Amino acid sequence: MSYKKILILKFSLLFILNLNAQIQNKSWKNIIYKSDDAWFASNEAKEIAENVLLYQRDIGGWPKNIQMQDKLAEVDRIALTLLKPNTKDITIDNGATIQEMDFLSKMYKQIPDNRYKEAFLKGLDYILEAQYKNGGWPQFYPLKKGYYTHITYNDNSMINVLNLLKEIKDKTDFYSIKPNDKIILKAQNAFNKGIDCILKTQYKQNGILTSWCAQHDENSLLPAKARAYELPSLSGYESADIVLLLMSIENPSKEIITAVNAAVTWFEKVKITGLREERTYDEKGKVNDKKMIPDENAPAIWARFMELDDNRPFFCDRDGIKKYSIEEIGSERRNGYAWYVTSPEKVLKKYPKWKVKNGITALKQQQNDKYYVVVTQDGSGDYKTIQEAINNSKAFPYERITIFIKNGIYKEKIKIHEWNTNVSLIGESKEKTIITYDDYFNKLSLGRNSTFYTYTVLVEANDIILKNLTIENSSGDVGQAVALSVFSHRIVVVDCRLLGNQDTLYASGIGKQYYKNCYIEGTTDFIFGSATAFFENCEIHSKKDSYITAASTPKDSLFGYVFKDCNLTSNDITSKVYLGRPWRIYAKTVFINCTLGKHILPEGWHNWSKSEAEKTSFYAEYENRGEGSNTKSRVSWSHQLCKKESKKYTQKNVLGNSNWYENI
């Protein structure tokens, strides 16, 4: 055969291989893992083994998604022989290389052909060579440009490698082919480096260990992007097998125990209940639609992709734009990708026995438990009440103290004292972690200032984070009754529900406060006080015809209340609501890019019968939308910002240095 014809055959096969790589076919995998041991002694198995040997490249690895059981013509065999030196597209992705080695091991057990052993050991050499110095593995080796160089947990690629190395370094009988002691030592060192990489890539959210991303940057170890719809995120799928591997390690180190405990806490926190995936199929049995259906009896599921900062599930089309409902993405990606998974359930089922086996009696995320404590009403945590956890926290700590509060209704009157700085109260879920109390003005009867004693939660300390909580004053529509009272500096309230009626949120003091993704409801003046506060992406819900804000901004403050990208809503009986009125005459309140419902009155603002406030207060709007956003009838003393003026109302300008709120 001429050299020219050989080249044509070579490039034809490359085209075929690349075409096959676009198609996921599980039949090869089923042959490896679902065939009886005796089958591997059959003539059919021997024929397939010849193909496996032929597809292996000289470097030791295999390309992915090859249907090894397909018969090869003589021309194909010639082309594959010519491809042996080629290192393109050799990978551990989609089970490649590992599953071929598993097959060869099963073949060798039945037919001790030395070629099977040599090919297996060459594959092992390839795996050892492909490892990064930091312990991770790229998707392709030799390295392929693009996201393929990232450390890849995607589809359990790296975990498959580590499970293989574990069997070898533990000298089990899982593989019939036994490497020599030198190779076993290399496998042990590679495994240890891999585990170290896993521990270093476990993502910290607000200082707390959580889970892993499908890909991590090979240099920074931070979550990284792969395909357009595979954005940096916490993974409900890949993280499960990572934890199962860590749990399989005998005599785990403190670091491994910490990692497992943290991941289990995270799995419990982010599991989704009451939701079931419903599929419809076409006449060929292919999925043509997926819908998520409410079902209170459905088993727990987990999202494949979750936001790094707040665990919110998201979905993507090939345009890479995040959506927060699976119904918002096109049918091709919606039906062609596993957006929800159940694999973490395996972790949760094995975890109790793992704890007993390793003598673990309490769930801790940090080795130094002074900085991480758990509140549970059933006594399984460190404390049964939130206030007890706060009272036992170190005063003015140098490190942040996290108080993780498990789901439950906590009827407590909470006070975060001035000396309890640098504390985070983190709920398991904002809907089910509820802090409630029922004090109100006339109930306390402490004089004209009784309002300020009605709080459910009072924050006096600086540098506090409140997250995933419902904070409620449950006294009803009985007058002044505060749910959350804050008058300190650098306070972050994120993903919380603030429930009440009159005076729900007392945002006061001379400090800076940040509210993000919160639901705040009330009747009269339900956001009031003197603070500089930035509200972002919050729902502000009016329950009665009245006033939303009552700012008492100090005269010299540059900003008061700033609402940006918020949604102002109401119930069906509410139709006459003012954006605000001045509790004190220098009140400042601005709404920017907000959606104003039809309940907002055309005049917008009220002077609280203080004519001087019309000259001294500053009430303004910019590019709002919705039925209540028409500014033609606004009071003459309010302001409509121009584009240049609106630019000063950024987070950084309003709140100052971003290091205390930016990464929450």
What does the pLDDT look like over 504-546, one tens digit per residue?
A: 999 999 999 999 999 999 999 999 999 999 999 999 999 999 9
* 18-32, 172-186, 633-647: the lowest-pLDDT one: 18-32
Which residue carries 């009626």 as its tokens?
Answer: 501
245-276 pLDDT per residue, tens: 999 999 999 899 999 999 999 999 999 999 99
Q: Is the pLDDT of residue 22 over 50?
A: no
291-315 pLDDT per residue, tens: 889 998 899 999 999 999 889 999 9
CB 320 within 8 A of CB 299: no
The proportion of the chain whose per-residue pLDDT surpasses 70, expressed as a percent, equals 94
Q: Is the pLDDT of residue 364 over 60?
A: no
Instruction: Count the Cβ atoms, other than its own, within 10 Å of residue 375.
Output: 24
- The pLDDT, as a whole number, for residue 282 is 79
- The pLDDT, as a whole number, for residue 369 is 52
Provide the pairing of β-strand 519-522 with 539-542: parallel
pLDDT level of residue 24 (50, 70, 90 thresholds): very low
Q: Is the pLDDT of residue 212 over 90?
A: yes
Q: Is the pLDDT of residue 112 over 80?
A: yes
**Which structure tokens are listed for 87?**
């290192």
- The pLDDT, as a whole number, for residue 371 is 82
Quick one: fold of 202-367?
Answer: Glycosyltransferase (1.50.10)
Residues ≥6 apart with Cβ < 8 Å to 180: none
d(CA 624, CA 619): 14
Residue that wins the pLDDT comparison between 485 and 381:
485
Average pLDDT, the chain: 92
400-655 homologous superfamily = Single-stranded right-handed beta-helix, Pectin lyase-like (2.160.20.10)
Q: 213 exposed, middle or buried (CB, 10 Å; 0-12, 13-18, 19+)?
A: buried
Active site residue 525: yes
d(CA 14, CA 429): 51
The arithmetic mean of pLDDT across residues 615-632, rounded, is 96
pLDDT level of residue 280 (50, 70, 90 thresholds): confident
Provide the pairing of β-strand 491-494 with 512-516: parallel
- Asked if the bond preceding 223 is cis, omega within 30° of 0, the reply is no
- The pLDDT, as a whole number, for residue 20 is 40
- The pLDDT, as a whole number, for residue 489 is 94
- The pLDDT, as a whole number, for residue 660 is 81
Kindly name the residue from 310, 463, 495, 525 that is annotated as catalytic: 525
Q: Is the pLDDT of residue 368 over 50?
A: no
471-495 pLDDT per residue, tens: 999 999 999 999 999 999 999 999 9
- The pLDDT, as a whole number, for residue 663 is 60
Domain ranges for the chain: 1-139+155-188, 202-367, 400-655
CATH 1.50.10.20 fits 1-139+155-188, yes or no: yes
If phi over 0 gives left and psi between -120 and 50 gives alpha, with beta otherwise, what is residue 609? left
The arithmetic mean of pLDDT across residues 62-66, rounded, is 95
CB 280 within 8 A of CB 384: no
Cα 45-46-52 angle, rounded to 5 deg: 90
Cα 6 to Cα 17, 82, 427, 591, 650, distances in angstroms: 16, 8, 66, 71, 65
The arithmetic mean of pLDDT across residues 188-212, rounded, is 94
Secondary structure of 253-301 as H, E, C letters: CHHHHHHHHHHHHHHHHHCECCEEEEEEECCCCCEEEEEEEECCCCCCE
Q: Strand, coil or helix: what is 614? A: helix
Cα 572-574-579 angle, rounded to 5 deg: 135
Cα 120 to Cα 41, 193, 283, 475, distances in angstroms: 18, 22, 42, 71
Residues ≥6 apart with Cβ < 8 Å to 181: none
- In this chain, the answer to whether the domains covering 202-367 and 400-655 adopt an identical fold is no
Residue that wins the pLDDT comparison between 225 and 7:
225
Residue that wins the pLDDT comparison between 373 and 8:
373
The arithmetic mean of pLDDT across residues 87-94, rounded, is 95
> Residue 248 half-sphere exposure, CB side, CA atoms within 13 Å?
17
- Enter the DSSP assignment of 39: G
122-150 as b/e: b if 16+ CB within 10 A: bbbbbbbebbbebbbbbbbbeebeebbbb
Cα 518-522-523 angle, rounded to 5 deg: 155
d(CA 114, CA 648): 74
DSSP string, 40-69: GGSHHHHHHHHHHHHH--TTS-B-SS--TT
Q: Is the pLDDT of residue 397 over 60?
A: yes
The proportion of the chain whose per-residue pLDDT surpasses 90, expressed as a percent, equals 82
- The pLDDT, as a whole number, for residue 155 is 92
Q: Is the pLDDT of residue 31 over 80?
A: yes
The arithmetic mean of pLDDT across residues 358-384, rounded, is 72
Which residue carries 């018969």 as its tokens?
Answer: 71
d(CA 566, CA 538): 5
Torsion angles phi and psi, residue 492, rounded to 5? -120, 125
- The pLDDT, as a whole number, for residue 277 is 87
Sequence letter at residue 189: N
pLDDT level of residue 18 (50, 70, 90 thresholds): very low
Q: Which of 423, 416, 382, 419 has the alpha carbon at shortest distance from 400?
A: 423
Kindly name the residue from 217, 241, 382, 503 that is annotated as catalytic: 503
pLDDT level of residue 336 (50, 70, 90 thresholds): confident
d(CA 68, CA 80): 12
Torsion of CA 167, 172, 177, 179, to 10 degrees: 70
Cα 651 to Cα 514, 552, 656, distances in angstroms: 9, 20, 7
Q: Is the pLDDT of residue 9 over 90?
A: no
d(CA 371, CA 404): 11
Q: Is the dihedral of CA 544, 545, 551, 552 positive or negative?
A: negative
As beta bridge partners, residue 513 has: 491, 533
